[in-house]
Amino acid sequence: MVNLNPKLVKLLSVYAIFMASIVLVSNFDVFYFKQNGFTESDLVGGFFFWAVAPLFVIILINNRTIDSRLLMLAGVGVRIISYLMLAFLEPTHELFAFYEFTIGLGSFLFWVPFNIMYFSMGKGSEAKMGSIYFSMASAFGLVIPLLSGFIIGEMGFKELFLLDAVLYIIMACSILLFEKFKHLHNLKDCLNELKGFKTLILVEGVYGGGATACLVIIPLLYFAKPVELAIFLSATTIFSIIASFVASHLSDKAKKRKKYVRSFGLGLAITTFLGAFASTASLWYLAVSARNFFATLFWPFTTTILVDNKRHMVKSMVGREWLLNVGRFFGLAIVLVCTLYFDILLSMAVLGCVLALYPLVIELKRMHIKVD
């Protein structure tokens, strides 16, 4: 069992609000721009700003000692600004680029301090902590998209964006209750700390960046109404919920990381690859449902094997974010090329092939990393 001490409960409470806020607008923000005339390539292009923003921040705060609470508050603050802008400004290409940039900023500024605190509290229960971390989004994804669809249908996008801004304001107040936690990072040291993991994290980033764009944009080819998209998002989450129950029974004591990574990684790669052949809404639903099942099982172990190797937590998490976002940039480039010259669905096949390299890279890096 994970020891739910008061500090961890407080941390999970803020995390729950953050995840609920993300799920509330996830997919619907891009749907909003699609309804206002944006093409698939326009949308993919905007995602590049999401990937670049964290790189900018990491360089900006390099060699600076900063209170992690301030970083988290800044991350929440830029998200409040971004949703207020969506609510009150016209949906132009410039707004979409700025919006994605602020989403990238907010993600880095919140997630890195959170990850450092969260996984530092979970020593000895890394896999269970990872399962809680990744499964909460699935739990919210079963119901919240339906609420989002209802709000858009009855009131409009503006009200949805304003509600999300309010949730972030509530979360900002909660973060003020955290204890001070200062950290300093040097990018070169952070990357050196990840010896043996760099290629793994890059593969994860390429897949994650490309898959994020595909899973948001491709459904818009099949669902033209907010309520249809809402039902689709909730329905595909059912398999993630099932996977969460499976993941909860994978004990930290079993120490079968390599087996799990190999099996779940291959399953995720295959189901992603098959998504390239999902030419109808029904086939896309089946492909995404299967893909979500394996994703929920696989992602906790990508963080767990890093924590298992007892690397410096601050350096590891900052370096990891740098490499992830470099990878995301190239993953988005794959999607953009496929969208412009072939078919966006083809990028699913390419991304599946990329992720299939993950278990292979682990085998090649056995001299530098330990995976039981």
Structure tokens at 226: 């907010």
> What's the pLDDT at 251?
47
Domain boundaries defined on the chain: 6-364
Per-residue DSSP letters for 72-100? Answer: HHHHHHHHHHHHHHHHHS---HHHHHHHH
**Of the candidates 18, 21, 39, the residue with the CA atom closest to the CA atom of residue 30:** 39
* 139 touches 244 (CB < 8 A): yes
Place of tokens 């079968």: 256
**Of the candidates 320, 72, 304, 98, the residue with the CA atom closest to the CA atom of residue 187:** 320
Q: Give 1's pLDDT tier (boundaries 50, 70, 90).
A: very low
The arithmetic mean of pLDDT across residues 34-48, rounded, is: 95
Q: In 3-state terms, what secondary structure has residue 243?
A: helix
Report the amino acid identity of residue 44: V
- Which is more confidently placed, 139 or 346? 346
Q: Per-residue pLDDT tens for 208-251?
A: 999 999 999 999 999 989 999 999 999 888 877 777 666 656 54
List Cβ neighbours of 59 (8 Å cut-off, separation of 6 or more). 187
- Which is more confidently placed, 249 or 63? 63
Residue 233: strand pairing partners: none
Q: In 3-state terms, what secondary structure has residue 211?
A: helix
* 124 touches 337 (CB < 8 A): no
Structure tokens at 201: 């994290």
- Tell me 183's DSSP state: E
> What's the pLDDT at 173?
86
> What's the pLDDT at 274?
95
The CATH code of domain 6-364 reads 1.20.1250.20
Q: What are phi and psi of 195, to 5 degrees?
A: -55, 125
**Of the candidates 76, 157, 166, 158, the residue with the CA atom closest to the CA atom of residue 113:** 76
* 102 touches 50 (CB < 8 A): no
**Of the candidates 57, 183, 47, 174, the residue with the CA atom closest to the CA atom of residue 115:** 183
Task: Confirm whether pTM is higher than 0.75.
Answer: yes
Cα–Cα distance list, 283 to 15, 45, 229, 232, 253 (Å): 33, 26, 15, 12, 38
